[in-house]
Amino acid sequence: IGEIVRDMQITVREQPNKRPELIIPKDTCIVAGTVLKAIIRATDPDQNQSIRISSESAIFSTSTALFPHQPAATLDPPNHPPKVRDQYQYQGNPAQSNFEWKTVCTQVRAQPYDVVFKAEDNAPVPNQLTDTKTWRITVVGPPVTGLKPTVEANAIRLSWNPYTCSGATQLLIWRKQGCSPDQIDPCAKSIPAGYTLVGRVAATSTSFLDQTVKKGIQYAYRVSAAFTGTSGGAGILSDQVCARLKLTVPIITNVSVSKTDLAQGQIKVRWAQPLEIDPAEIPGPYRYQVFRATGFSTSFGSTPVYTTEWQPSIPAPTSYLSFTDSGLNTEVNPYTYVVVLLSSNGARADSSQPASSVRLSATPLPDAIQLKWTAQVPWDNTNSTHIVYREDQTKKNQVPKAYVKLAEVPVSSAASFTYIDTGNGIKLNKDSLYCYYVETVGTYNERLLEDPLINASQELCSSPLDTVKPCAVVLAIDPTPCAQWASEEGSPSPSFCSVSTYSNHLSWVYPQTEGDKECDQDLSRYRIYYKRYEEDREFTLIDSVWSPVQVYNHINLTSFAGCYYVTVVDRSGNESAPSNIVCQDNCPYYALPNVITPDNGDTLNQVFEPYPCPRFIESGKITILNRWGRKVFETSDIHINWAGGLNNNAEVSDANNVSPGVYYYSAELKTMRLRRRDERIVIKGWVHILK
């Protein structure tokens, strides 16, 4: 419709006013029921200016519609609306305001409360400058008080004072092995490491029975409140209390591999006897039965692998028994053990907790080897330092192997039972084996039991990951016998007429070098790929042969036609680039006679058929016409077998057989060839019937 062009002039002038600086506390947590007090300060580099401190947050509102969970927080001097420019709102320079909030349980929630503070100087309008900052306050529930453990027969009962903070819906019971102290941060979102949730009770409950405890293990407990309403929230953890069951059962302390072998492996099993057993309740003498399970299973057999007796008069410091289990496949399997205690009458009194051997595994990495280990044991293997040993590289092939300490690995959880060996001063060779074993260091956290508990894994050997592909092979294929067959085509009984299946013979050579690099000779197997037609894009893996075999016969084929390539795979699983592609084609043959003599009294040349036999012809359609172009015979049988008669497709019906004379044929054939475009052929000719 139209346009307007305007000029605009912008004048920029230097403004000497400087921004005030607001100083607020760090984000914090406060326990509901306590009072939070803080001083909010502000300064301004322009000493002649005054500062006003204001704040905005729902917690300042005394309206239950805006802030349902009263009481509200206060800011002194009063928190006036920022738009009111009253001289009495301004303080000197520096300025400060006092924040105070008396919290209650209904204010507990998962998300913090945001309190926005603003410091504004009193420079002339419109040159006022401000500094704005947000203080985040999280209100948490108070801790459960009066937590106390009581040991029962096979359980630990916890009791505590009634929890009086309204809004809590559940109390959560947390447990860890050991009784080490923890630093509790009330603002932390997570539970300290090592604790697991073992139970939930209503917020009105005052006790919990833990029936999942195991004898021989010291446990630490804490309880916290959960506020599961629309706002969520949690209470801080209670003080820690510790307890354990009496040591009235055998306590396994060691399941350590002492020999690694496929058939003659050995494991040392050691256990503490029931140090606090009461002979009045379970009379002696006592007997032990040790049972074994393969792997980390607890499906123990019915026959013990070891049996011994014990008298309770043996002093506690020497009350340990052990035996060496032998004839094991420790190279492949971990093993799990349990010790059963029998009383004087042979009855089963109790049993230890199952304990397994340490299982070490290795994962090859580029120029490194990653080790991981695991053990399912009743003692605590975390929060300690495990030791990794590697075979001494200066004493290779020594029997037994000589090991040196490779690393001390700090562990905090089972997920941290891992170590990556990058050589530790040597370069790891992908063509060399490096052998390791690991010692775990554990504890029951019990003063009556030995500490630390050291257990060895099996020995394990591995190599760094080999990422270098082998060189490509040079492939060849034997020629077909087509040249020989061509020389036999005129004979009455050529050799190709007796062949029903075919084969292709492949051979290849793996090079020593490729360009200026040496080829990896650590080979595993060769893979053979095949496709039926040359124009197909995808090859199919049809077979593989183990190195050093370098020949392959592709047998039971319906023809020679097809293409191949071969790859080689090294022992690290790296597959080479494809070899050169070799292809094979067929040599179709289809010849028809020009004279037949049916019904002449002899047995020769009675029918019109391919001579001596068709070769590599898949299908066809043969049509025979008389001299006037009328169809007298048609068939899809490539062998034809026409004796001069009429068939259902004939266009003449004056007689059952044709008369002597010349007839013309057309054979539309589909041959078996390497390329689809070469498969269709048409053969035309004539045949003379003589009678």
Contact between 589 and 560 (Cβ < 8 Å): no
β strands within 366-425, DSSP E: 368-374, 384-391, 403-411, 418-421
Based on the fold, state whether residues 231 and 262 are members of the same structural domain. no
pLDDT tens for each residue of 383-432: 899 999 999 988 888 888 999 999 999 998 889 999 999 999 899 988 88
Count of Cβ atoms closer than 10 Å to residue 353 Cβ: 18
Which range (209-213, 222-226, 306-310) has the least confidence?
A: 306-310
Domain-embedded: residue 273: yes
Q: Is the peptide bond before 315 cis (omega within 30 degrees of 0)?
A: no
* pLDDT of 87: 42
What are the DSSP calls for 598-657, one per residue?
Answer: TTSSSSSS-SB--SS--BSEEEEEEEEE-TTS-EEEEES-TT--B-SB--TT-S--S-SB
pLDDT digits (tens, 9 = 90+) for 498-527: 899 999 999 999 999 998 889 988 899 999
In 32-123, the DSSP E strands lie at 35-43, 51-56, 74-76, 95-102, 113-121
pLDDT of residue 312: 63
Instruction: Answer yes or no: is 11 within a domain.
Output: no
- Give the model confidence (pLDDT) of 186-195 as tens digits: 777 778 888 9
Question: Which among 27, 76, 19, 31 has a CA at the least distance from the CA of 53?
Answer: 76
Domain end residue (candidates: 180, 215, 243): 243
Domain check: are 195 and 117 in the same one?
A: no
Domain CATH code at residue 423:
2.60.40
Average pLDDT, the chain: 90
Judgement on whether residues 122 and 161 belong to the same structural domain of the protein: no
Residue that terminates a domain, selected from 556, 584, 612: 584
Q: What's the mean pLDDT in 231-257?
A: 93
For 524, list phi and psi in degrees, rounded to 5.
-110, -55
Residues listed for the chain:
691
Last residue of a domain, one of 105, 140, 175: 140
Environment class of 221 (CB within 10 Å of its CB; exposed 0-12, middle 13-18, buried 19+): buried
549 and 495 co-located in one domain: yes
Q: Are residues 277 and 174 located together in one domain of the fold?
A: no
236 shares a domain with 220? yes
Same domain, residue pair 213 and 237: yes
Lowest mean pLDDT among 68-72, 304-308, 471-475: 68-72
β-bridge partners, 671: 617
φ/ψ of residue 483, rounded to 5 = -65, -40
When pLDDT is cut at 50, 70 and 90, the band that residue 621 belongs to is very high
Whether 622 has a pLDDT exceeding 70, the answer reads yes
Q: For 163-200, b where at least 16 C-beta lie within 10 A, e where not — what string?
A: bebebbeebbbbbbbbbeeeeeebeeeebbebbeebbe
Same domain as 437, residue 328? no
- Token readout for 608 is 């019109």
458 occurs within a structural domain: yes
pLDDT at 651: 61
Amino acid at 160: W
Q: How confident is the model at residue 83 (pLDDT cuts 50, 70, 90)?
A: very low
The answer to pTM > 0.75 is: no
- pLDDT > 90: percent of the chain: 66
- How many other CB atoms sit within 10 Å of the CB of residue 265? 23
Distance CA 64, CA 53 (A): 25
Q: Does residue 3 fall inside a structural domain?
A: no
Please state whether beta strands 403-411 and 130-140 pair in parallel, antiparallel, or not at all (unpaired): unpaired
Q: How many domains does the chain have?
A: 6
pLDDT tens-digit readout, 427-454: 998 888 999 999 999 999 888 888 899 9
Q: What is the tens place of the pLDDT at every residue in 286-345? A: 889 999 999 999 999 899 999 998 766 544 445 789 999 999 999 999 999 999 999 888
Residues 622, 562 within the same domain? no
On whether residue 8 sits in a domain, the answer given is no
User: pLDDT at residue 618 above 90?
Assistant: yes
Look at 230 and 11; give whichever has higher pLDDT. Answer: 11
The Cβ of residue 317 has, within 10 Å, a number of other Cβ atoms equal to: 9
Six-digit token string for 34: 């306590």
**Within a domain: 523:** yes
pLDDT for the residue numbered 315:
43
- Domain hosting 222: range is 148-243
pLDDT at 14 over 80: no
Residues 130 and 186 in one domain: no
Quick check: is 5 in a domain?
no
Same domain, 38 and 133: yes
User: Does residue 16 sit within a domain?
Assistant: no
What are residue 141's DSSP bridge partners? 235
Q: Are residues 487 and 435 in the same domain?
A: no
| AA letter at 208 | F
Residues 503/557, Cβ–Cβ less than 8 Å = yes
d(CA 610, CA 669) in angstroms, rounded, equals: 12
Q: Check whether the bond before 124 is cis (ω within 30° of 0).
A: no
Sheet holding 207-210, edge to edge: 148-151, 156-159, 207-210
Supply the CATH number for residue 311's domain.
Answer: 2.60.40.10
Instruction: Check residue 76 and give its pLDDT.
Output: 87
